Amino acid sequence: MDRQAGADSGPPGMDAAADWPLAVYRILRAEQVRQVSYVPDAGHARLISLLRQDPEMACHVLTTEEEGVAIAAGAWLGGQRSVVLMQSSGVGNCINMLSLATVGRFPLLMLVTMRGEWAEFNPWQVPMGRAGEPALAAIGIRTLRAETPADLVASVAAAARLAFAADQQMAVIIAQRLLGEKQW
């Protein structure tokens, strides 16, 4: 049985935005997402853990993000909904493969954690941090940017609806500031 999604779907007295991974998980369940593809990422760690614990979710660990686009296409052709989780550097890895979704016009939902922004320590992350969102837009992927947990919950719900009900290609950009400063 699917759990209810939305900002008010947490336990009584709990603001769902305060635990955005749980709120996002609930949205994905409510939207009947059953395939999850990801390259392991600290920003998505709790969400990945929730998804992996769900026996109705098929979780695919990727060697490169472009594999996730192909899995999303196959899932849709097989009658299932999917989500691809990646970091902003992964956008650069799969930009050419994204033409499969835009030209084929199948639903695509991506959740992209940002690097190269807020208090970044790794200079190698900065170029795709700047170029990720414009690159997605240039290839025809619509983006919704989330700066706060409440923005993220609302954006995932809206992006999932647009992707699956209107056959759109959507990426929710999760600001690095929302995730917090990385420590190494």
Q: What is the pLDDT of residue 14?
A: 39
Residue 5 pLDDT: 38
pLDDT 10s digits, 75-118? 999 999 999 999 999 999 999 999 999 999 999 999 999 887 87
Structure confidence at residue 9 as a pLDDT band (50, 70, 90): very low
* CB-neighbour burial class of residue 62 (10 A; exposed 0-12, middle 13-18, buried 19+): buried
Q: Domain for residue 184, yes or no?
A: no
Looking at the 3D structure of the chain, how many domains does it have? 1
| 10 belongs to a structural domain | no
Domain containing residue 134: 16-179
Q: Does 8 map to a domain? A: no
Token digits for 77?
A: 């052709």
Alpha carbons within 13 angstroms on the beta-carbon side of residue 153 total 20
Q: Is the pTM of this model over 0.85?
A: yes
Is the Cβ–Cβ distance between 111 and 24 less than 8 Å?
yes
CATH of the domain at 71: 3.40.50.970
Span 147-167, average pLDDT: 97
**What's the pLDDT at 122?**
83
158 falls within a domain: yes
Q: Compute CA 176 distance to the chain's CA centroid, rounded to the nearest angstrom.
A: 14
In a domain, 131, yes or no: yes
Q: Please, what is the average pLDDT of the chain?
A: 88
Question: Where is average pLDDT lowest: 5-19, 72-86, 127-141?
Answer: 5-19
